[in-house]
């Protein structure tokens, strides 16, 4: 879906606006290239992180089962991830977790046919099929949270009880590694996409940061997009949302300085930018 939106958006800006080509080459083209690029990190003996190629993924291997977090965006990255998983998993059962419904995180689901695919329970079969197609349907819907033991790791799969990036965002916490996979509720140096058709709620992001910091002892953060980091990834993103909220009611000079603070964030004008986030707060004040 995100890709569809980007393509429509690209066509619109190129056709509709005089500055379209500039926006395309300054923002959109580099963004699409960045989206495609992948990097594999062998984090430890059991855990592999595959950064980029759509949403960031994790592969956690044990003697009895393999956990995969998010299945990436179209070809070739989803197929590459699948090959990596098969190489690590052999014939062991695979449990896939989708952090949310967007196809940059779910496109490869169809490759994992016959395996367990877990997603947030505020979605259902109808909503999911319309968005992603029946072939990528999850098999398990988590309403609150689910704890799974994978080898020596205890994994909590948490469905947020409120909307943030979408109406059902899932985060995955690895207790022994103190590592949180944040999905697109936690991005590193990238502006969020807040779309009403997914019930996006910027206040939900702020609530989510508080919730996971209270609930989990977090040392490592794997964001939905951007590089892996520590707890500061969450704190930076909280500051971003608070600043955009402040900017939405501030005088012009303060507003500009707050927006300028995040000029190095990966962004696409109007759709995915600091001012788009600020505009969300302008449209949804005093909550």
Q: Which residues bind Zn ion (CB under 5 A)?
A: 55, 104, 184, 224
Write down the least CB distance from residue 169 to Zn ion, Å.
Answer: 11
Q: Which is nearer to Zn ion, 184 or 278 (CB)?
A: 184
Structure tokens at 35: 């989206």
Structure tokens at 65: 């089962």
Count the neighbouring beta carbons within 10 Å of the beta carbon of residue 246.
14
Residues near 100 by Cβ (< 8 Å), separated by ≥ 6? Answer: 119, 120, 165, 166, 168, 169, 170, 183, 184
Write down the least CB distance from residue 210 to Zn ion, Å.
Answer: 22
The rounded distance, in Å, linking the Cα atoms of 144 and 151 is 23
**Residues written for the chain:** 287
Q: Which is nearer to Zn ion, 104 or 255 (CB)?
A: 104
Q: Which is nearer to Zn ion, 61 or 202 (CB)?
A: 202
Q: Which is nearer to Zn ion, 56 or 275 (CB)?
A: 56
Count the neighbouring beta carbons within 10 Å of the beta carbon of residue 46.
21
Residue 123 near residue 149, CB atoms below 8 Å = no
Write down the least CB distance from residue 219 to Zn ion, Å.
Answer: 23
Write down the least CB distance from residue 102 to Zn ion, Å.
Answer: 5
Write down the least CB distance from residue 47 to Zn ion, Å.
Answer: 21
Phi, psi at 118, each rounded to 5°: -105, 135
The rounded distance, in Å, linking the Cα atoms of 238 and 49 is 24
**Which pairing describes strands 220-222 and 179-181: parallel, antiparallel, or unpaired?**
parallel
Structure tokens at 245: 């909220």
Q: 72: alpha, beta or left, given left = phi > 0 and alpha = psi -120 to 50?
A: left
Q: Which is nearer to Zn ion, 102 or 177 (CB)?
A: 102
In angstroms, the Cα distances linking 250 to 11, 48, 189, 204, 262 are: 34, 44, 23, 22, 16
Structure tokens at 197: 């058709």
Q: 3-class DSSP state for residue 96? A: strand
Q: Which is nearer to Zn ion, 153 or 241 (CB)?
A: 241
Q: Which is nearer to Zn ion, 106 or 248 (CB)?
A: 106
The rounded distance, in Å, linking the Cα atoms of 123 and 168 is 6
Q: Which is nearer to Zn ion, 65 or 160 (CB)?
A: 160
């Amino acid at each position: 879906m995100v890709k569809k939106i980007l393509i429509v958006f690209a066509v619109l800006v190129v056709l509709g606006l005089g500055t379209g080509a500039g926006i395309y080459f300054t923002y959109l083209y580099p963004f699409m290239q960045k989206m495609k690029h992948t990097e594999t990190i062998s984090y430890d003996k059991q855990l592999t992180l595959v950064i980029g190629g759509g949403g960031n993924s994790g592969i956690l291997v044990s003697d009895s089962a393999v956990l995969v977090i998010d299945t990436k965006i179209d070809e070739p990255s989803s197929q590459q991830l699948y090959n990596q998983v098969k190489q690590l998993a052999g014939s062991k059962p695979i449990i896939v977790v989708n952090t949310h419904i967007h196809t940059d995180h779910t496109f490869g689901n169809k490759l994992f046919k016959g395996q367990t695919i877990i997603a947030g329970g505020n979605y259902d079969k109808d909503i999911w099929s319309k968005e992603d197609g029946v072939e990528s349907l999850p098999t398990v819907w988590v309403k609150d949270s689910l704890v799974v033991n994978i080898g020596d790791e205890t994994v909590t799969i948490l469905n947020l009880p409120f909307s943030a990036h979408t109406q059902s965002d899932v985060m995955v916490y690895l207790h022994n590694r103190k590592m949180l996979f944040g999905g697109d509720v936690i991005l590193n140096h990238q502006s969020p996409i807040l779309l009403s058709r997914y019930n996006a709620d910027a206040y939900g992001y702020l609530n989510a940061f508080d919730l996971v910091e209270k609930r989990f002892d977090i040392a490592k953060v794997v964001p939905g997009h951007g590089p892996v980091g520590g707890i500061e990834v969450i704190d930076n993103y909280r500051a971003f949302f608070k600043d955009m909220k402040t900017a939405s009611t501030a005088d012009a000079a303060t507003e500009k300085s707050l927006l300028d603070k995040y000029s190095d964030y990966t962004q696409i004008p109007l759709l995915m930018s600091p001012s788009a986030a600020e505009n969300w707060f302008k449209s949804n004040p005093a909550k």
